[in-house]
Structure 1
């Protein structure tokens, strides 16, 4: 999937560094991901979840909070209120760019931040909110700070260590953390909420999820990340959380109305990848692409895969109809198809205006069931009469017109 690096201006005068994960095909919605305390947009959870959402057609922005990663500003003087302001700025960028309600996703303190930011952003601009390992009590973060906090309150600033990293914190940073009533913020929510939390989370206990869930209004959901650690360091845990959020989010980010299904034929629309293309039929949508070895994102079958699939599926269906009409015990079919060609050379020939090479499709058919030799021979013979086979071997003309 293509990743667009961008910057977002803040009212404080500095820029936030962001990475927008775009679907290979078209965009059905947009989401914003807030990373955990002192993490960055490059955290395992941030990357896994934003890319999983992109695979579902949801453009997802992950960004660095003030003073972290590639973002400007001073982390030690920012505090929770600044995180909320950062989220509002990033969310407004997404809402303006894509022109629709967005999904907010937050991990750990980032989860608390998206809950607190919802009211400031406006419920009418939010489709839904999902959190992972979010605390119900924001000041509890102070317990994770290794340093003399009393001295910081007395002198105005001082050094601390958070997760093995050194920072200079201000008195304002601490005060902003201590004044947040997150449960009151959750009680005011008027959007769908999904809480994901591990019962074995050693940093933010599972009781936090219980308090948040109790405070929230319906529709609300809870998913247990059993066995996962707080940071989702295991790829399987990160992928599971990502897929759950992506699946849940599609309920609240429905397919856009400006992508009507064609009444007949197929409509193809270019997407965001180099080759990624949306295919729209009267009742289905999917992405076609090229493999990474040819410069694509490998997000879907290639055009030649689809060609072979058309012949193979039509062959299987035709043989099934023929056997069923005669009451023959055909239990199943397996068809292996290949295309003999040099794809890159073919493309170069077309671009140079030269005639294409003579190509061949090879089809190997396996029939399952207690069929006689004569029945097998007749079924294989009928395979050559399937409609797609006849189209490919017939006198096919392609007529091209332009619109607009």
Structure 2
């Protein structure tokens, strides 16, 4: 589902702009992502982690802080306290909109802001940080001595950070020296996930150690191995995203199906026919079809490939769900059809993309069409693919028994 714009006022009455990554179907919870010092809501880490959580059924708000990062105006004053206030304002705005956040995830300075803000947000049940500093004085190391002297002497100075000017005021320096991050972590008393690269050249891994030691259990640490501070490599961003999404599952309500499965299906058997390299006879109850691979990879091309069978399940479930909903609502849907294509997408985690094309026939108005498409995104197979499943395997010595309806060989 495309990200939707979400705007809210911060403590100073300034309108902040964010993007809401909503999951397909009913969310199991909501989260806020806080970006890094020189980043914004569209940084690689922000986008990948937010979308990974949305695939796990968790809606995420990512927004630009008023001053810190690319969200602020060119040369706008940086204020860590304002970042913390912005997070609290975002949480209040989401609660007012019926989307009370339960998770805070922060990258770099955003992670530190999340740790500090969470202590004043009772609805937050867990916090995750990526490359977060354990002390705000670390930020001052990006300034040279002359800049700091100017800030302290004149009250402010324009400092170039990552090729972009930031207005740093003495209040920022004073706040940095006063905030005790480790004390805030000790007072958190909520589950904490710390992700950090041992090769981080911007915020050393010793910061992760200090945060982890200060935190109370339950707490977890995940090494990001060779990742850089900004998670510039897509593989590193994907790995961090998967870890956050998996960890968050433990602290949120279980997923619930939006629409019940119409009828429980019999088990499905796939048995080699021994004709060609791949041909299988697939059976469920009285029904049977062939599955095979294309001739281009050594098959006979005599049936649907495994991924085509998965795509067929999604297509069939989509049409049945739309029909069930249209009939229930009395919509004049004459006929529906769906085409599903599957492909692997590089640098995406998980790498599987199912593209669904829907055709609705009949005198439907725009609102009816929109509501039918919305329910298509909540069909049981769709939700199963997006949210993931548990697969268990048993090995037996005897061959599968023949069904009574199948003639003996």
TM-score normalised by structure 2 residue count? 0.66
Q: Could you list the runs of 5+ residues in structure 1 that have no partner in the other structure? A: 262-268, 270-278, 285-306, 322-333, 353-370, 383-404
2:348 is matched with none
1:30 is matched with 30
- Specify whether residues 351 and 113 from structure 1 end up closer, same or farther in structure 2 by C-alpha distance, changes over 3 A only: same
C-alpha displacement of 1:95: 3.1
C-alpha displacement of 1:178: 1.6
Asked if the contact 2:67–2:79 (Cα under 8 Å) also holds between the matched residues in 1, the reply is: no
- Specify whether residues 75 and 26 from structure 1 end up closer, same or farther in structure 2 by C-alpha distance, changes over 3 A only: farther
Question: Which whole-Å CA distance do the structure 2 matches of 1:280 and 1:165 have between them?
Answer: 52
Asked if the contact 2:75–2:165 (Cα under 8 Å) also holds between the matched residues in 1, the reply is: no
Residue 252 (str. 1) matches residue 234 (str. 2): no
Asked if the contact 1:194–1:220 (Cα under 8 Å) also holds between the matched residues in 2, the reply is: yes
Asked if the contact 2:78–2:166 (Cα under 8 Å) also holds between the matched residues in 1, the reply is: no
Asked if the contact 1:102–1:126 (Cα under 8 Å) also holds between the matched residues in 2, the reply is: yes
Residue 20 (str. 1) matches residue 33 (str. 2): no
Question: Which whole-Å CA distance do the structure 1 matches of 2:252 and 2:123 have between them?
Answer: 12
Asked if the contact 1:15–1:71 (Cα under 8 Å) also holds between the matched residues in 2, the reply is: no
The residue matched to 2:85 in structure 1 has which SS?
helix
C-alpha displacement of 1:281: 3.8
Residue 44 (str. 1) matches residue 47 (str. 2): no
2:175 is matched with 176
Question: Which whole-Å CA distance do the structure 1 matches of 2:150 and 2:208 have between them?
Answer: 32
1:280 is matched with 260
Residue 234 (str. 1) matches residue 242 (str. 2): no
The residue matched to 1:98 in structure 2 has which SS?
coil
Asked if the contact 1:312–1:335 (Cα under 8 Å) also holds between the matched residues in 2, the reply is: no
2:129 is matched with 131
C-alpha displacement of 1:67: 2.8
C-alpha displacement of 1:74: 8.6
Asked if the contact 2:111–2:128 (Cα under 8 Å) also holds between the matched residues in 1, the reply is: yes
Asked if the contact 1:94–1:102 (Cα under 8 Å) also holds between the matched residues in 2, the reply is: no
Q: How is 1:304-343 mapped onto 2 (pairs within 5 angstroms)?
A: 316-318=283-285, 336=304, 343=338
Residue 83 (str. 1) matches residue 83 (str. 2): yes
The residue matched to 2:227 in structure 1 has which SS?
coil
Cα deviation, 1:182-231, whole Å, max 9, x if unaligned, reads 00111101111000000111111111111111110001000110011010
Asked if the contact 1:16–1:70 (Cα under 8 Å) also holds between the matched residues in 2, the reply is: no
- Specify whether residues 68 and 17 from structure 1 end up closer, same or farther in structure 2 by C-alpha distance, changes over 3 A only: farther
C-alpha displacement of 1:348: 4.9
2:187 is matched with 188
Q: How is 1:365-376 mapped onto 2 (pairs within 5 angstroms)?
A: none
Alignment RMSD: 3.7
1:294 is matched with none
C-alpha displacement of 1:351: 4.4
- Specify whether residues 343 and 135 from structure 1 end up closer, same or farther in structure 2 by C-alpha distance, changes over 3 A only: closer
Asked if the contact 1:103–1:126 (Cα under 8 Å) also holds between the matched residues in 2, the reply is: yes
Asked if the contact 1:87–1:117 (Cα under 8 Å) also holds between the matched residues in 2, the reply is: yes
C-alpha displacement of 1:91: 1.5
